[in-house]
Chain A
Amino acid sequence: MNYLLEVDNLRTYYYSKKRIVPAVDGVSFHLEKGEVLGLVGESGCGKSTVVRAITGLIDPTYARVEEGTALFCDADLLKMKEKELSKIRGKEISMVFQNPLSALNPVYTIGNQLTEALTTHFSVSRKEAQDRAVELLRLVHIPSPETRLKEYPHQLSGGMQQRVLIAIALACNPQLVIADEPTTALDVTIQAQILDLLKELRSRLGMAIILITHNMGVVAAMCDRMLVMYGGVVVEEGSCRTVFASPSHPYTKGLLASIPSVTEDRQRLYSIKGQVPVFSVPVSQCRFLDRCESCTERCRKEEPPLFSLPNGSKCRCWLMEERQGKEND
């Protein structure tokens, strides 16, 4: 089958004076056309590094892509030269960042920044670019787009800024939009508006979305499939319905149980003991080991592979070996 994006065995390490940190350590996943994939995990799990590596936005002074391939429409993004990559970035693959105020340039008008994406990738006249910009602002439901074009980022509210960023990301009709925590900096009522907008745009324009977030609620509302990351690896992969209904990995279970609920009262929250550790290469044990309640001697000696489960999910845990065995029989 032909996937829009197919990432295989991606490794990205951060180099510090003291150690080498495996921020992304063998991540593989694929994305179909028009699919919304959620990348979930706590801070430091490598979810942002994955997409930064794919889009070539890693700072080479301290980080390096060690190995792996990222096939986008059958071309390997990781082997491309900067020049080739910048032809794809912003056109075929575009990004929406977390903090809209720092992602927009304060000294240029909204119109300037919107038309920049268009004039970089296409040879269009100023007039055409202007018209397209107005059309884009209308697409993301910004009222009176003609006047907004002449305004500067600080004149807009956070929600409006995020809408502008989405408009910029959509300027060249990309096939893939990567949204890195697009609603984290926003209030809940505005977050709901932005999520509704993303859903609407996706069904209208049919682009694929990679949504990076730490908010399980956002994933449940938006995504078709999800990857749960921990310590630089994918610990669970599956359709959203399956993962939320029957999580397999102890980490996913713990994460879901530790969210306070708005719909019911719980006396005590389940809490995963300990804290997210920092690893150094090579890792030869289960990464969740110290915080896991059902770890065995084997977890200490070998890192579990990603087992395929009968329910279609994949899970990186030795406990799943039996369940996989049954499937094979």
Chain B
Amino acid sequence: MNRDIILSVSGLKKYFPVRRGLILQKTVGQVKAVDDVSFQVYRGETLGIIGESGCGKTTLARMIMGLEKQTEGEITFLGKKIDTEMPADLRKKIQMVFQDPYSSLDPRMNIRRIIEEPLRVHTKLSANEKRQILLPLLKNVGIDENALQKYPHEFSGGQRQRIGIARALILQPELLLCDEPVSALDVSIQAQILNLFKDLEETYHLTMIFVSHDMSVIRHISDRIIVMYLGQIMEIAPKKELFDHTLHPYSQALMSAIPVADPERQRARIPLKGEIPSPLNAPPGCPFSGRCAKAKEICHCQKPGLRHTSAQHYVACHLFAEGCEETL
């Protein structure tokens, strides 16, 4: 694989202040939505980010997109630092596909306007030139040319998601961010859209960050996977490595929790006690320590750093501390 780094995130933090009071507002606490996250995205790969609700995966995606300003840390995209005020020529190279295909399309615009809008914002092409770009793209995402004059309400969820994808691809972005793009869809439609992503990945040589809470979707689409919990990265590994040698107790529990669609092959579940703690008062040590069956004393007081265990496999857990040099 080409090891050209396209996006690099280091020490990224996003704390949301919690305020009390109407006029004289006091900050009474902080929600650590994303807490010290570092990773790289290589050109041509699909990086899957998985985690349960509240783990900060969407906040992370929004910061990379420049929709949210980070509290601390750096995001480097194509060699330049970016934040909410990134220049237009950089911004157009990151595009996003949203979760809900119903609220992410303007109901008063027809499909042509929706898909062409990025072109109108970022370029000065004539109507004919826009058409030249639009038509092959429509074919690739599987929307009929006659549909251009229609409005979003005339389409089903799957079709709308195709429109959203076309809109994200029309500027030929370097990086495509997908925030739960299939979780609002039915199983049979979800399969269509996942196949579409696979096809587009080949046609357009896409680099994607794919955020999802569904491990089976992530496994299907990603080359490398980040497991997040309570704003922190628990494990990063290439797909095969992660599934063959799952290291972190949280990743193991997460995988065993997924119901398998086969009554003969029900796996032994690793029961997780309790629930995700509120990010408002996260535990001082490892965020997972309160629910971890293997937690030691050190886990409750000291936060484990991401450690390199084997080729491209990083894990943040004290269990793997000995004999592994610290990297990243």
Q: Which of B260-309 contact A (CB under 8 A)?
A: 260-266, 269, 271-272, 275-276
Interface status of B188 (Cβ within 8 A of chain A): yes
Interface status of B200 (Cβ within 8 A of chain A): no
Interface status of A88 (Cβ within 8 A of chain B): no
Complex CA distance for A268 and B202, rounded to whole angstroms: 13
Interface contact B195-A271, CB-CB below 8 Å = yes
B49 to nearest A CB, angstroms?
15
Interface range, B side: 35 or more
Query: Beta-carbon contacts of B118-134 to A below 8 Å, as 1s and 0s?
Result: 00000000000000000
Interface contact A262-B266, CB-CB below 8 Å = no
Interface contact B52-A188, CB-CB below 8 Å = yes
Q: Which of A168-197 contact B (CB under 8 A)?
A: 187-193, 195-196
Complex CA distance for A270 and B192, rounded to whole angstroms: 8
- Given A187-B213, A189-B52, A260-B194, answer yes or no on A255-B254 (Cβ-Cβ < 8 Å): no
Chain A residues in 8 Å Cβ range of B253:
189
Interface contact A159-B275, CB-CB below 8 Å = yes
Chain A residues in 8 Å Cβ range of B217:
260
* Partner among B198, B259, B272, B275 whose Cβ is within 8 Å of the Cβ of A217: B259
Interface contact A260-B219, CB-CB below 8 Å = yes
- In this complex, how many residues of chain A approach chain B with their Cβ under 8 Å: the count is 46
Interface status of B72 (Cβ within 8 A of chain A): no
Chain A residues in 8 Å Cβ range of B186:
42-43, 214, 276
Chain B residues in 8 Å Cβ range of A220:
259-263, 266
Interface contact B213-A258, CB-CB below 8 Å = no
* Partner among B195, B261, B262, B271 whose Cβ is within 8 Å of the Cβ of A196: B271
Complex CA distance for A122 and B192, rounded to whole angstroms: 52
- Given A187-B213, A188-B215, A244-B264, answer yes or no on A217-B276 (Cβ-Cβ < 8 Å): no
- Residues of chain A touching chain B, judged by Cβ–Cβ distance below 8 Å, are 42-43, 157, 159-160, 187-193, 195-196, 214-221, 240-241, 244-245, 254-256, 258-263, 265-273, 275-276
- Residues of chain B touching chain A, judged by Cβ–Cβ distance below 8 Å, are 52-53, 156, 158-159, 186-192, 194-195, 198, 213-217, 219-220, 239-240, 253-266, 269, 271-272, 275-276
Q: List 6 A-B pairs, minimum CB-CB distance, nearest first.
A: A217-B259, A258-B191, A260-B220, A216-B261, A192-B257, A187-B52
